[in-house]
Every structure is written in structure tokens, then in C-alpha cells.
Amino acid sequence: MERKYFGTDGIRGRVGDGVMTPEFVLKLGWAVGRILCSENNNLVLIGKDTRISGYMFESVLEAGLSAAGVNARLLGPMPTPAVAYLTRTLRAAAGIVISASHNPYYDNGVKFFTSEGKKLPDSIELEIEKQLDQPLEVVASDKLGKVERITDAAGRYIEFCKSTIPTRIKLNGLKIVLDCAHGATYHIAPNVFSELGAEVVSLSSKPNGLNINDHCGATDPKALRMAVIEHHADLGIAIDGDGDRLIMVDDTGAIVDGDELLYVIAQARKSENNLHGGVVGTLMSNLGLEHALRAQDIEFGRAAVGDRYVMEMLKERSWLIGGESSGHIICLDRTTTGDAIISALQVLQVLVNQQVSLRDAKSGMSKYPQILINVPVQAKIDLENTPQIQQAVKDAESDLADSGRVLLRPSGTEPLVRVMVEGVDAPKVQQLAQQIADSVAAAC
């Protein structure tokens, strides 16, 4: 069945429009309480990022859960992966995060975790959607849910993050510039790295409700790059607004993306006989990652774009490490979901163990030139059964041979076809991408 409200990562939209209204989110809280909670466990945790609308949605979620007879515990500003961890350790029936991740402040969303700290399966999301179509019924007054605040949530999560690397690992002598995107990690990430011994220079750690992800964080690391050079730092760490996406910067100011970070973690684990399988990327992962892992005799699988699909393939293959170029990195032997702080610690552990810089650690992987062209389309187009498009793709693949690849996919959110070509020869990659894009445009 097709979902009406849920996207690839919960429910998201512009505040005040569509689903992101107080009325809808109140009923969503009620529906979630009805589906995910039981008499044996009627506790739900609520965390949020630093958007100004988080206060409003937190209040209506409380009301909806209470109407369903569910008790809520408020965590305040808290990274998405922290809510997953606390849901599991506090034995809650579910965790709720009010966040639109890397989007601007005027968007917001709601996403959920099971009692095990994992994202909801499609079947449960469909049950919640069915419940949303039912009239809201309030339980008897003596059964209404209660709300309390957990005051030590940040401290609990800080200690958990530190526990994901061996106690012998210290970051003494490392100077790190840290960009928290004015988001949910602003009061957590600086403490994690400084308590492990690093000298931390903090950027974008003063949220005001409106500045989350505003020219900062993992989606815009320009300021971080300049600060690393200005402060003569060893590296930089950029986190997105809700704390699940990581981009790093080496000592020269060069960006180190999710593909390169996956390589750093995987090659180190392979050398320690601690990889336990292969690595999962996505259809958009750079071919250079695949070739670099192959050179280390590490298997590589490509999932559909989206961290939930990476997670699905990891489970199918019983592997532990996966992620996306954008910086969603999953280490299933450390936690249950993508976590920027924990992923950064895995990289820093490699640097300390191998006594190398981030620049040296990533040097075994060379990224191939990759061109992405978004072609506007008027209506849905059948890419596989349009002869001129398939011929253009076939010609490009023949030209690239084993030194590149072609990917066409319709956007899931916009009227666009995304044309991606990558290969060793940058001018050829640009030429072939434009030829395919022209054939798509002509077919429309």
C-alpha cells in the first residue's frame, strides 16, 4: 500500500502547511500512542532539534499522547540518534523526534523509533496512517497520560558516545574545529570531544530557533573549512541539525565526505580482522569507494538512496558498516541508527591507532569525477522504455567501459530526472552526462 503521510524518514513539511499543523500533529500523537503502546508499556520519549516550531509541536504531541492514555517523557533538544539510544535504554515503547534534519528552520517533521531504537517498518507506518483516519477518542480522565521531563538526558548520551571507543583511546593533542549547525548537538558534541582530551573550537553552537542549518553544518561546511585553516587545526567535524549526518575536513581544508569516511573506517576494521562482512553504500556512492574497497578485498553493496535502504541491506547481509555520500554513516556494532558523533569517534579512533592524519587515512581512496544533472520533466517518464534515452545510456556505458558508470533515476520529491555519470576522465564524464540529459529533455 502507498503511504499517504510518511516519507522515507517520518513525516516532514513546511510549518503551518499540509501535515505540519498543530491539529494534524496532535492527532498523530494520539494515533502513535494507540498503535505503539500497550498496557504493559505506555511510555513514549519526545526529543526535538532547535527549531522554534519545536515548542509548538512538542506541546500538541504531549496532548495527543495523553488523550490516548500514554505517558510522555520530554528530553528537550536532543540529537535524533540520542532519542533512539534513550528509547532503548529507558525501555520506552517508542521514541519521537521533532526535526526536519538538514532542512531550514521553517520546515519541521516528526519521526519515530521502536522500543529497540530502530526506525519504524513500513507495516507499522501504515497502521498509524489507518488510525489517523479514525475519529479521535479520548480515554477516561483517570486514564489520561502524564508528562514529565528527563533532566539528565544529555549526560546519559554523552557517556554513551564516549563508550563507543575503547577507554585507552584519548584525543589529547588533537585540535578539532566543531560545527554543530546551531542544531541538536550544540550542548553535547563539544563535551564529548573535549572530555576525551581534544582541544575543541566550537562553531555554530548558539541556536536561536531560526539559525539551524543556516550556512553551517554538514550541508554547508564553508565556514568550517576556513576555520580549520585559520586555527591551524588537525581536522574539522560538521554535523547537521539533528545530529545524524557527518562531514569532516582535513588539515588542508579539504572536505572528507561520507564515502571517504566509510573507507577510513572499513579499511581499519579490515586490517584488524574486525569488519565482519562488507560495506553498504548507495546508488550514488562514488565509484572510487567501490574500487578502493575492492583493492582491500572488501565486498561492497549498493542500496537505493536513503539511510533506511542502507539499513535494510545491512540486515539482509548481516553486515555492520554502511552509509551515504551525504554523511549518514551506520555502525551497527556501536548503535542502532546513523549517528554523527559516534561515526566521528570511529574515524578519530583510526587516526589515533594508526598515528596518521585524516588526510593520510583517506589517501587510499581516489574519488572519481561525478557529474549530476537534474533534468526538469513535465510528467512522469518511463526511462526504461524510452528508446532514445536507453540508446544514449548504452552509448555512454560503452564509452566508459570499466572506468565509469551511468545512473538515471526520477526524483521522489520533485518533477526531475537525475542524470549521474562518473568516470576517470572528467571532460568525458561532463560530455556524456550532458548528452544523456539532452536525450531525456528531448523525450519530454
Is residue 423 scored above 70 in pLDDT? yes
357 catalytic per annotation: no
227 and 340 fall within a common domain: yes
Percent of the chain residues topping a pLDDT of 90: 89
Mean pLDDT across 27-55: 96
Range of the domain at 392: 370-443
Answer yes or no: is 3 within a domain: no
Structural domain contains residue 4: no
According to the model, what pLDDT value does residue 211 have? 98
Q: What is the mean pLDDT of the chain?
A: 95
Number of separate domains in the chain:
3
Q: What pLDDT shows up at residue 413?
A: 62
**Would you list the DSSP string of 259-313?**
HHHHHHHHHHHHHTT---S-EEEETTS-HHHHHHHHHTT--EEEEPSSHHHHHHH
Residues 302 and 248 in one domain: yes
Q: Is 349 in the same domain as 382?
A: no
Cα distance between residue 251 and residue 175, in whole Å:
10
pLDDT at 289 over 90: yes
Catalytic, out of 53, 66, 99, 101: 101
Q: Which residues contact 116 (CB under 8 A, 6 or more apart)?
A: 88, 336
Domain boundary among 91, 124, 151: 151
Q: Is residue 423 part of a domain?
A: yes
d(CA 176, CA 251) in angstroms, rounded, equals: 10
Check: CB of residue 304 under 8 Å from CB of residue 410.
no
Q: What is the mean pLDDT of residues 301-314?
A: 92
CATH code at 139?
Answer: 3.40.120.10
Could you tell me if 217 and 345 lie in one domain? yes
Q: For the residues 331-352, what does the mean pLDDT come to?
A: 97
Cell numbers at 260, concatenated: 571517504
- What is the reported pTM? 0.92
The domain that contains 390 carries what CATH number?
3.30.310.50
Are 185 and 330 within one domain? yes
Residue 2 within any structural domain of the chain: no
Residue 426 grid coordinates: 572528467
